[in-house]
Amino acid sequence: MHEHPATKDGKKPVPHERDIRDLAELNSGPVTRFGASLPGNLLRAFDGQIARRGYANRSEALGDLIRESLIRESWESSSGEHIATLTLLYDHSCRGLLQRMTELQHHASAKVLSSLHVHVSEDICLEVLVFRGTAEAVRREADRLIAMRGVLHGELVVAGVAG
Domain ranges across the chain? 15-77, 81-161
pLDDT: which is higher, 116 or 80: 116
Decide if 108 contacts 119 (C-beta within 8 A): no
What is the structure's pLDDT at 101? 94
The Cα–Cα gap between 22 and 2 comes to 7
- Can you spell out the DSSP letters for 56-93? SSHHHHHHHHHHHHHHHHHHHH--SEEEEEEEEEEETT
Kindly compute the dihedral angle of the four CA atoms of residues 57, 58, 59, 61, in this order, to the nearest 10 degrees.
100
The Cα–Cα gap between 65 and 75 comes to 15
| Nearest residue to 130 (alpha-carbon basis) of 87, 162, 76, 72 | 87
State the average pLDDT for the chain: 83
Q: Which CATH number fits domain 81-161: 3.50.80.10, 1.10.150.120, 3.30.70.1150, 3.30.300.180?
A: 3.30.70.1150
What is the structure's pLDDT at 81? 86
Please report the sign of the dihedral spanned by the C-alpha atoms of residue 106, residue 108, residue 110, residue 114: negative
What is the structure's pLDDT at 69? 80
Average pLDDT, integer, range 101-118: 91
| Nearest residue to 128 (alpha-carbon basis) of 113, 115, 137 | 115
Decide if 75 contacts 134 (C-beta within 8 A): no
| pTM value > 0.95 | no
- Tens of pLDDT, residue by residue over 35-51, are 999 999 999 999 999 99
Q: What's the pLDDT band for 14 if we cut at 50, 70, 90?
A: very low
The Cα–Cα gap between 41 and 27 comes to 29
Backbone angles phi, psi at 116, to 5 degrees: -130, 130
